[in-house]
Amino acid sequence: MTAPCPTADPMQGLTAEVAEHRIELILDGGERLARLIALIDGAARSIDLIMYIFESDAAGLHVLRALTAAARRGVRVRALIDSFGSGDTPDAMFAPLREAGGSATFFSRRWRSTYLIRNHQKLILIDDAIAITGGFNIADDYLSPPRSDCWFDIGMVIEGPSVARAVDWFAEIHDYTVHHDGKLLILRRLIREWPVNGGPVSWLVGGPTQRLSPWARAVRADLDGARQLDMAMAYFSPGQGLLRRLGRVAQRGRARLVMAGKSDNGATIGASRLLYGYLLRKGAEVWEYRPCKLHMKLIVVDDVVYIGSANFDVRSLFVNVELMVRIADAGFAAQMRHFVADLRPDCELITAEAHKGRAGWWTRLRWTLAWFVVGVADYTVSRKLNFGLGDPDPDV
C-alpha cells in the first residue's frame, strides 16, 4: 500500500521575517484550504484571484461559495481563470459569483495562435495587503488532507510592502485579459517591461518573450557563480544553457535536485530523466520523491529562494505566463535548504549506476520523445501521450 503524503510536521507553522515581510509556508493541503477560506471570509474590501486550475469539485465549490459570500457583503471580487487549465470547468459555475456582483474572466477564451500560451499563475490577493501564491491550484488534489494521490506542494502567504507589486501585476494582467485577450504583442510588452527591482522580496513574471522571461533571467543570473543549489521541482526539462549552469554549480560546490518519482503525467518524468546522466556526471545529487506526486516549485540558490508557479522547463521559462517570488535572505535560504534535506528519507537516491541500468536505447528514445512533447506541446497534451512512462519502474 502506498504511504500517504507526509504532513510535513517539521514545517507546520513555519514563518520567516524578511525585510518588513512576514512569510508563512503551508504544506498540508487541508490546512491550505482552511487558511484560504479564513482569509476570504475576513476580506473587507477586495479579493483578486488568478488560477490555472479551478475545479468544480468539493474544494473548488467551497472556495467559490466563500468568494460569492464575500461579494454579497460588498467585497470587490475578481477571478481570472485559465481557459485551458480549467477546460473542464463550466463557465456557468461562476454564475452565482457574478450575480452577487463579482466577476470571473477566462484567459485565452478563443482558439487562436496564442491559445497554447497558458496563464499558469497562482495568486490570491486579500485587501491589497496579503498575497497567497505557490504551485497549488483550486482543486481537491491540492487542498485536501494528505493521502497517497495528493500533490505535495507549497502555499506561501506574504504580508509586507512588496505585496503592492503583486497588486500592480494583477491589475495589468486582468486589464489585458478583459480588453486585449489573445493579442500576443501586447502580452509580450507587458511582461518584457515589467520592472525588476533588486529588493529582498521581489515579484518576477514570465511569459512568451522572445528571450528568457524576467524570472528566468533572474534565476540564470543567480546561478552564475553560485556554489549551492537545492531544487524541488515538479516538472524539470530546461534547455541546454540553464542545464549547463546547473552542472557548473555542482562542479563548483553542491547541487541537490529533488524530482518527481510520481506524477499524473509520466511524460514529464521521462523528460526529466533524460537529463539525469549529465547532472550526475557533473557531481549533482538527484533524488526522486516517492510518497506521492511532487508539485512543488522551489529553488534555493546560495542565499536566494524562489517560490511560485513556474516549473524549471521550457514552457515555464519561455511560454507560460508565470509568477515567481524571489526572496534574498540567508536565514530563510538556510531554512529551505534544511527543508529539502529533510525530504531525503522519502526519496530514492538516483546513482549513476542505477540510472545507466535503466537507460536502455528504447527507454532513452521514449525519454527524448517525452522531452520534446513536454517542451514543445503542452503538459495536458503530453499527459495523453506519455509513452508508458507513467508505469512504475520494475525495480522500484
pLDDT digits (tens, 9 = 90+) for 56-76: 999 999 999 999 999 999 999
Per-residue pLDDT at 136 exceeds 90: yes
pLDDT tens for residues 153-203? 999 999 999 999 999 999 999 999 999 998 989 999 999 999 888 789 999
* Residues 245-285 pLDDT 10s: 999 999 999 999 999 998 877 788 988 999 999 999 999 99
* pLDDT value at 303 more than 70: yes
**Beta carbons of 23 and 327 less than 8 angstroms apart:** yes
Residue 113 belongs to domain with CATH number: 3.30.870.10
In a domain, 1, yes or no: no
Is the model's pLDDT at 238 over the cut of 80? yes
pLDDT of residue 257: 98
Task: Write down which residue in 126, 155, 182 finishes a domain.
Answer: 182
Whether the pLDDT of residue 344 is over 50: the answer is yes
CA 100 to chain centre: 31
Most confident option among 12-21, 84-93, 208-217: 84-93
Q: Are residues 152 and 224 in the same domain?
A: no
If asked whether residues 267 and 226 sit together in one domain, one would say yes
Examine the domain organization and report whether 86 and 217 are in the same domain: no
The share of the chain scoring above pLDDT 70, in percent, equals: 89
Domain count, the chain: 2
Look up residue 220 and give its amino acid.
Answer: R
- Residues 343 and 242 placed together within one structural domain of the fold: yes
Long-range contacts of residues 352-360, Cβ cutoff 8 Å, at least 24 apart: 352/277, 352/280, 352/281, 355/273, 355/276, 355/277, 355/280, 355/286, 356/277, 358/393, 358/395, 359/273, 359/277
Lowest mean pLDDT among 8-17, 94-103, 120-129, 133-142: 8-17
Q: Are residues 266 and 378 in the same domain?
A: yes
Which pTM value belongs to this model?
0.91
Domain hosting 311: range is 199-383
Distances (CA, A) of 366 to 77, 142, 236, 273, 311: 45, 29, 16, 10, 21
Q: Is residue 121 part of a domain?
A: yes
Residues 163 and 230 in one domain: no
**Distance of alpha carbon 362 from alpha carbon 343, whole angstroms:** 31
> How far apart are the C-alpha atoms of 301 and 326, rounded to whole Å?
10
Residue 93: the pLDDT is: 97
Does residue 190 lie within any of the structural domains? no
Asked whether residue 175 falls in the same domain as residue 273, the answer is no
Tell me, yes or no, whether 139 and 24 share the same domain.
Answer: yes
In a domain, 394, yes or no: no
pLDDT at 4: 45
- 123 and 76 within one domain: yes
